[in-house]
Structure 1
């Protein structure tokens, strides 16, 4: 069962994703800028929205009237993590000192990322991206520096990064541009050993550096009477240390090829992820039973270990408790087709099975009117050999039920009739996939729910589930993934999306 911090809100997930785990804050050692830089801008996507009132997520630099430069990981916040494609709700504010007013606002209609974190070797040294603007801006572009700046070269760094570490405090998100003058350090100064293609920028003690939410912002060098961009903020170097900037001079050919139209990469194929619900550390799906009516409140299915707060105790269940969180239901590209709120935890257990059901504030009819995908909940158990599709929020995994395990133990809990997947590259779940629906071949029936896999071969501990045979033999195999049966849930639900644990045929674990 995966460790989780579910339902603290998408805010915390986006904080980590958009800003990176950078211990330094803001543009350290600098001051508020007194004049705007016409080429500098703030990247402000409405989906996923950064966790700050002004909507700033990253810095950008205008390279041509319809092109801006940023970091690849900033453009990687599309739902499926695609390298190239069409975003939804992305915009930039160019040429203003303030993220909330002034300058020019332009919509982004395409993104091109040089590298992704799934690439061999990751994106270090290649953490750059281009965003195409729907309409040209009037801002004067900045040039790319002609060569990698030598150690000791003076640089100016700019950004709207956080001024303190509390991501829940609006005062930590400055709207006024800050800048600082510093130098390029030898790569050895950065504790992360600055991978090839990264610049080590800032003071040796980190008192002058970039930080959280400065990603994509520039390291500027003098080019005659003006500025040229030599690097963009990529990530942390370490505590009390300089910052890593991707050396964009190494990628001038890639950048020029796209801007000129001579070497434009094709869009990635976006796999259909319709119906998945992102729950910050887990996934979910909206399900209905055969007896559900169109005006019944819709139900959200996920794992019992994904509920907020205290987990259900071994041998017990949580029943009819308050809940309040947003549930975005994805369209086929992963963007929200409809959004509902979970208002009640109907049921959750980690004994016998690992499931949770939340009642939403929208009915099935209301969700259908919005075009949201609703899955059917099966009444037939999964059997060995059954094909399964794991419906995660950014992709689909093709799995096969290798066996139905009589007993599965993990961290003090026992699950019965668990589904073991056949191992292979097409079905290798990872942390964060808990709660993903397991679909029948029809693509609309939920027959199970993914909940765990064995990390390192350890027996029966958290993140290391073990199988227990009829004779008590314990088997623990690194890499094995497991899901839970859901066929028994239908017998416990009645019209109106209500739970009745005393109903004939209901075998779910009761209250303590």
Structure 2
């Protein structure tokens, strides 16, 4: 089960007074979809340390467990996400686990964030033992109070809280690990909600509060919420805070120039004839266009578009941002490509320090080394073969690039449109577009190879990219497309 944000404090009320240790995590990238920029809850454990959920700190571009963020801050000790309390910058994060480890972070959804400057707020302690069923707890946060993300009224800026109890773990049907707490009313009418993630379940420790757990995710439909049991990881927390055992930073791959699109990837490209004042072009897959896809045997030509194009720096944070204002061309026949015209010129992007790739005019051949610039990582690949015909869900691409499985080159869902780079690291020679998910023959997500004799080959796990060398012959001055040129062999609009 994949972790999704829990639902925010529902069935509660506005807190009558502030808690010095309670805070709001407000990252600038990726920015939460609300005006106050609140993304998750945090609690202060020491003057320069706050505790939250691992999946909240997982919002870094490469999904690293340990590293240095950019543009992250917390506001602590205030009832309001927009004013009051103390604001501090986060300069390091330490995640206990991530999605790639054992396929789950259940029971280990914790992260520590180090603050650049100390806060004066009085910290809260970790509870000494796991609270048993029926133990009274207080939950709090600034999460959504309704499901309409387009309604600003669903995003409270005032802290909300509710008093409830720990439930038997069996009352959270989505539970997957004994390291979780099931917290809230049994019917889910009092529970944490979306954007309450990382917020605390508090128990009484004498005359003070102590943190027993932090919000991980929903415990099921109309059920309590799952909290990671922080008491089980007290040693990990204390070792980092005291400096006794601090994990080293992850190695961050160089993903400069990658463009993260909703569910796909892209890259900004130029040809040998491109000029500094020409509108810049972005390349991705034809199946990554917004709206209706091009039908088999056809192409979409010169359509309006409006999508954000964040061009990453080496660590994956936006170096420059443009908007795609025109879909110049898209097809899934012959190849699987889409080309957008941006609202920025190559000179403007260069002035911002954004990386622009050279578009090849030479086809990929069997044996060519490749680097796939995917979501937050670089995959070393090579072209095992050039497949004459590749068929998938009614579409056919020609001269497709099959990756050598021995390389460990396995792009996954969400990496469609990723650039395939030549060894010079500046030339795009292809783009990733598909892999055979289940071993099926020629169906959606199960591409098959078709030989000259009509024989069909379908191998589960095989990945494929598409040639892009034919694009340059169809581009003219000013980043314009001319499909009528004799040298242009792209599929025409029908």
1:388-414 deviations in whole A, cap 9, x for unaligned? 100113000111111111111111111
- Structure 2: gaps of 5 or more residues: none
- Residues 25-34 or 325-334, more deviating: 25-34
2:200 matches 1:212: no
Contact 1:389 1:397 in 2 (8 A): yes
Secondary structure of 1:285's counterpart equals strand
Q: Which residue of 2 aligns with 1:451?
A: 433
Deviates more, 1:146-155 or 1:169-178: 169-178
Deviations 1:360-393 (A, max 9, x none): 1111111111111110000000011111100113
Selected match of 1:419 from 390, 393, 401? 401
Residue 4 of structure 1 aligns with which residue?
none
Q: Which residue of 1 aligns with 2:414?
A: 432
User: Could you tell me which residue of structure 1 aligns to residue 216 of structure 2?
Assistant: 234
What residue is the counterpart of 2:178 in the other structure? 196
Match of 1:99 in 2: 81
Match of 2:391 among 400, 409, 415: 409
* Separation in structure 2 between the aligned mates of residue 360 and residue 250 of structure 1, nearest angstrom: 51
1:90 aligns with 2:106: no
8 A Cα contact 2:380 2:407, kept in partner:
no
2:4 matched residue in structure 1: 20
Q: Would you say 1:223 and 2:239 are equivalent positions?
A: no
Aligned residue in 2 for 1:52: 34
> Does the 8 Å contact 1:325/1:342 carry over to 2?
yes
State which drifts further: 293-302 or 118-127: 118-127
* 1:465 corresponds to 2:458: no
Does the 8 Å contact 2:54/2:110 carry over to 1? Answer: yes
Question: Per the alignment, do residues 93 and 294 of structure 1 end up closer, same or farther by CA in structure 2, a change over 3 Å counting?
Answer: same
Equivalent runs, 1:122-133 vs 2, <5 Å? 122-133=104-115
Cα distance, 1:124 vs structure 2: 1.0
Partners in 2 of 1:48 and 1:374 — Cα distance?
A: 22
Please state if 1:144 is matched with 2:123.
Answer: no
Instruction: Report what 1:499 is aligned to.
Output: 481
Shift, 1:194, TM fit? 4.4
Alignment of 1:73-472 (within 5 A): 73-120=55-102, 122-424=104-406, 426-472=408-454
Contact preservation (8 Å) 1:187, 1:194: no
**1:490 corresponds to which residue?**
472
Deviation at 1:152, TM superposition (A): 1.1
Distance 2:221 2:444 in 1: 30
- Once residues 385 and 425 of structure 1 are traced to their aligned partners in structure 2, the CA distance between those partners, rounded to angstroms, is 12
8 Å Cα contact 2:13/2:162 also seen in 1: yes
8 Å contact 1:194–1:200 — kept in the other structure? no
Structure 2 contact 381–407 (Cα < 8 Å) conserved? no
Kept in 1: contact 2:332–2:397 (CA 8 A):
yes
Q: Write the distance in 2 (CA, Å) between the matches of 1:348 and 1:424.
A: 32
- Write the deviation string for residues 152-198 of structure 1: whole angstroms up to 9, x where unpaired: 11000001111111222222111111111111111111101341211
Q: Tell me the residue number matched to 1:8.
A: none
- Checking the alignment, whether the CA contact within 8 Å between 1:157 and 1:217 is kept in structure 2 is yes
- Residue 407 of structure 1 contacts residue 418 of structure 1 at CA under 8 Å; is this kept in 2? yes
| Residues 196-253 of structure 1: CA deviation (Å, up to 9, x unaligned) | 2111111111111111111000000001111000000011111000111000111111
Secondary structure of the equivalent of 2:24? strand
Alignment correspondent of 2:456 = 474
Q: Is the 8 A contact 1:419 1:484 kept in 2?
A: yes
Over aligned residue pairs, what C-alpha RMSD do you find? 1.2
Q: Which consecutive residues of structure 1, in runs of 5 or more, have no partner in the other structure?
A: 1-16
Contact 1:194 1:244 in 2 (8 A): no
Rounded to whole Å, the distance in 2 between the matches of 1:280 and 1:108 is: 27
Q: Secondary structure, in 3 states, of the residue corresponding to 2:239?
A: helix
How much does 1:26 deviate? 2.5
Higher relative contact order (Cα pairs below 8 Å, separated by 6+ residues):
1
User: Alignment partner of 2:27: what SS?
Assistant: coil
CA contact (8 A) 2:375 2:414 kept: no
Write out the 4+ residue segments of structure 1 that deviate beyond 4 Å after TM superposition.
none
Scaled by the length of structure 2, what TM-score is found?
0.98
Deviations 1:432-458 (A, max 9, x none): 000000001111100000000011011
Matched positions, count = 493
Deviations 1:244-269 (A, max 9, x none): 10001111111111111111111111
